[in-house]
Structure 1
Amino acid sequence: MSRSTTHTFTCPCGQVFTGQAYEYVNVADDAHLRYVVLAGLINVSTCPNCGRRAAISIPFVYSDPAYQLLAYVHPRADAPENARLMILEKLRDVYMDASKLHDQPTATDNESGSNNGGRVVSLSASEARDMPPLKVVFGLEQLGELIAAELSPEDRLGRLALSTQSRSEAERGQFHDITRKLASEMGCCIEVEDLPDEYTVWLYGSRRQVGALMRELATRG
């Protein structure tokens, strides 16, 4: 399961809002997150009032078992060489130590009679050997290239922009609700561009999903 924490932001416009910062992205459980990453929107929150973006620059682990892809992602593409070497060395030690870990029942399993199923869970040696090689990447662009190289053309990132030139807040809100519902139905993620003369909702997903969405919109006229 993916893991994230909630952060609170105060925008220069005065708006206070919250956003999620992922420490572990597991695409097996949250398939849409693959396209959040490819769209460059992971750990990025948008002010609902003015549209300014707030990025949370923290490292995270990206796991995509379907493609045997496991990556540690450092947020800075411009990290200096000495910092990169230190990160690589530390991760190598942690990764190698994983093969020494094993599942270990606690006293609550067999001695105390507790029914909470207490267990210290870690990796067995065989599980550690089955782990894909850990890749270390610096910046979302490098991670995106790594993911795209594994995907078929139909599974690569697709995008669709739906927009309205209405300046009415009520109409823009209704437009946003409709496009968000469509995105949810098709398993896509969205990003909003709120400009004075145009309100645009970008939908991101696989090219297959976006194509299906376009066909759905065509049938609705």
Structure 2
Amino acid sequence: MSRSTTHTFTCPCGEVFSSSIYEYVNVAKDAGLRYTVLAGLLNVSVCPNCGGKAAISTPFIYSDPAHNLLAYVHPRGDAPQEARLLILENLRSAYENVEALLVARDGADGAGDHIATLSPRQAQDLPPLQVVFGLDQLSELISGVLTPEERLGKLALSTQSRNDAERSQFYSIARKLASEMDCSVEVESLPDEYVVWLYGSRRQIGALMRELAPGG
């Protein structure tokens, strides 16, 4: 499953809040995260008070076993060549040793004290590790292995209400829809309009649009 850590942030507006930062993304277990990545929202903290956003530049691993995709993602697309070469060399060394780190073995006392969870065959079947620099490059890589119906689709739901309670209720309904459809959510709060964006596969978004259509 995916792994994240919780960080506390202080917004320029003065609001203090917590946000999850992902170190490992496994879309086999968290399908909606694929579209969080494609929408450019992964590791982006959003202030609940003013809506201000800040991207957190931290490397992470992206895994999509169904499409045989495993990637180390460096957040900086403009990383200098020297830094790229060093990262590649370090990752190559680590990946060559992955079997020794992951293969399960019995303890010397025969009690079955496993140090890891993969068999030698499973370790050999790991997809080749790709290294990408920047989320744009990762998005291109992901889109390249998806079918047209799996690629990113988006839908905007909006209300012109300025009432905070009504906006909150609208957001809750949108989040419930997103959760049922394995979609990601982004809020755009404007003085005269409140917009909730839903990001998911084109298939999911199309089904949701048909469901919301009059007489659907």
* TM-score normalised by L of structure 2: 0.94
Q: Deviations over 1:34-79 (max 9, x none)?
A: 1111011111121111111122211000000000000000010110
Percent identical among aligned pairs is: 68
SS in 2 for 1:149: helix
Q: Which residue of 2 aligns with 1:98?
A: 98
Deviation at 1:195, TM superposition (A): 1.2
CA RMSD of aligned residues (A): 1.7
1:149 to 129, 134, 144: 144
SS in 2 for 1:105: coil
CA distance, structure 2, for counterparts of residue 209 and residue 14 of structure 1: 38
SS in 1 for 2:177: helix
Q: Which residue of 1 aligns with 2:163?
A: 168
**Aligned residue type for 1:54:** A
Q: Which residue of 2 aligns with 1:128?
A: 123
Is 1:22 the counterpart of 2:22 in the alignment? yes
Q: Structure 1 regions of 5+ residues with no counterpart?
A: 111-116
CA distance, structure 1, for counterparts of residue 172 and residue 85 of structure 2: 46
Preserved contact between residue 106 and residue 119 of structure 1 (Cα < 8 Å):
yes
Distance change in 2, residues 1:199/1:89 (3 Å): same
**Aligned residue type for 1:56:** I
Preserved contact between residue 100 and residue 124 of structure 1 (Cα < 8 Å):
no
Preserved contact between residue 109 and residue 119 of structure 1 (Cα < 8 Å):
no
Preserved contact between residue 162 and residue 191 of structure 2 (Cα < 8 Å):
yes
Map residues 1-221 of structure 1 onto 2, 5 A cutoff.
1-101=1-101, 102-106=103-107, 110=111, 118-121=113-116, 123-219=118-214
**Aligned residue type for 2:23:** E
CA distance, structure 2, for counterparts of residue 186 and residue 123 of structure 1: 32
Q: Structure 2 regions of 5+ residues with no counterpart?
A: none
Deviation at 1:129, TM superposition (A): 2.0
Deviation at 1:126, TM superposition (A): 2.6
**Aligned residue type for 2:158:** S
